[in-house]
Homo-oligomer: A and B are copies of this chain.
């Protein structure tokens, strides 16, 4: 029987946080006459956190949070053309090409011969489906799970639904909070492949000695799996 190997998508298979960072830089530029960068960043982060319960994760909610922050920070003085620029920043993010990171396509191809590959990703259903389609990676995965939160209960439900025992399940991702800790808590395995940027909301204090493998690139994954 094939063991199950599941991958996170954003910042594990393709770039995501980079697009947010680029957009946030353009947003700062729009408001630089009113406030300094650190203050703009802090207010945007607060708005995002306050809105998470209304909007969930994803680009549409982020765009609405940028609009709200821009109005707050300019005391409603930002004009229509400015608001339109913020709307267009969001649309540009949605239209960004989805390019697999180096090594991803080859490694998935190789591993699909010995594992049942799954994709487990958090976020907006429509965003994630279209990103997967644009990435060209869809054919490698026998199962795709798009969820609104990645916690222990979510992983437990996914494993139960597919009849997968935790001992035969491994999760690979860039977020210690979402991809690693809840999976280890279930008695399954997890492999951390850090990304250069971590969204503040996903950041957790890193243990000095991680009780899970940490790889510099997905290219190192097949050798690790062979060593188990």
Contacts and interface: CB of A to CB of B under 8 A. Distances in A.
Contacts of A81: 76
Nearest to A72: B84
Instruction: Say whether chain A's binding surface is mostly helix, strand, loop, or mixed.
Output: helix
Interface residues of A, number: 35
Nearest to A84: B71
A78 interface: yes
Interface in A60-103: 60-61, 63-64, 67-68, 71, 74-81, 83-84, 87, 90-91, 94-95
A92 to B, nearest CB: 10
Contact of A60 (B60, B71, B74, B80): B60
Interface of A: 54-58, 60-61, 63-64, 67-68, 71, 74-81, 83-84, 87, 90-91, 94-95, 124-127, 129, 146-148
